[in-house]
Amino acid sequence: MGGAVQNFQNVADVTAITQLVLSERESRDLGRWQRMEACFFPDARICLSWIDGSAREFVLGSIDMAKRGMKASHRISPPVVRISGDRAVVSAPAIIDIPGNVRGIEVQLSSHARFLYRVERRDGRWGIVFFDSIYMRDELTPCIPGQTIPITAEDVAPFRKSYRMLCFILSLGGYTPSHDLAGYDKEETAVAKTAEVYGWAGIDPNATDIMC
């Protein structure tokens, strides 16, 4: 009976954590700012291409970004949740879509990344305590087929290959993107980030267990 109860609790925790991270991204996309902030504990930290700061700073920055017209949306693949006691790690492949305008041409940026959430249970409630990612690759396409985007190799030369188009679009919007994030163009950074995130929860990312 004890094993069955534990399995039930594991399933309930996985479901709660999955809904937590999906709710955070849905709220971000739909501008439900209070709901978005509620997904984080107040001391949470966010480290992404355009921000390294607190949950409150992340929400305020997201509001400002939306007001600027840079309305990102996110396509999230099914997340994998690994639990260790009151800590958990969520890994979710994602595509960040951002419409933009490059020198008069409407464009669509699609940035591929693996989102990594560190989640804790405090007073019986799961909340996000850290959100970062590993960047894979990105592309920039014209919204109208046949048009040519006026961009050169020199325009994106300062940026990392795994998220250079994202950095380019952010820079056009007045942001100063970080060049030091984990990305598959520098494999050692992806390995180090994976070890850091899973190590925080005391989890071996290569373990063969299927659940939790």
Interval 156-187: pLDDT, tens? 999 999 999 999 999 999 999 999 999 999 99
pLDDT at site 207: 86
pLDDT at site 75: 97
- State the Cα–Cα distance between residues 167 and 47, nearest whole angstrom: 14
pLDDT at site 5: 45
Q: What predicted TM-score, i.e. pTM, was given to this entire model?
A: 0.92
pLDDT at site 212: 46
pLDDT at site 163: 97
Residues in the chain: 212
Spatial CB neighbours of 97, under 8 Å, sequence gap ≥ 6: 72, 73, 74, 75, 108, 109, 110
- State the Cα–Cα distance between residues 23 and 206, nearest whole angstrom: 27
Cα atoms in the 13 Å half-sphere on the side-chain side of 18: 14
Q: Which residue stretches of the chain have pLDDT < 70?
A: 1-8, 210-212
The structure tokens 């004890």 sit at 2
pLDDT at site 57: 98
pLDDT at site 3: 56
Domain range 2-200, CATH architecture: Roll (3.10)
Residue type present at position 184 = Y
Average pLDDT, the chain: 94
- The 3 state secondary structure assigned to the chain is CHHHHHHHHHHHHHHHHHHHHHHHHHHHHHCCHHHHHHCEEEEEEEEECCEEEEHHHHHHHHHHHHHCCCCCEEEECCCEEEEECCEEEEEEEEEEEEEEEECCEEEEEEEEEEEEEEEEEECCEEEEEEEEEEEEEEEEEECCCCCCCCCCHHHHCCCCHHHHHHHHHHHHCCCCCCCCCCECCEHHHHHHHHHHHHHHCCCCCCCCCCCC
Q: Which two tokens stand for residue 96?
A: 């960040």
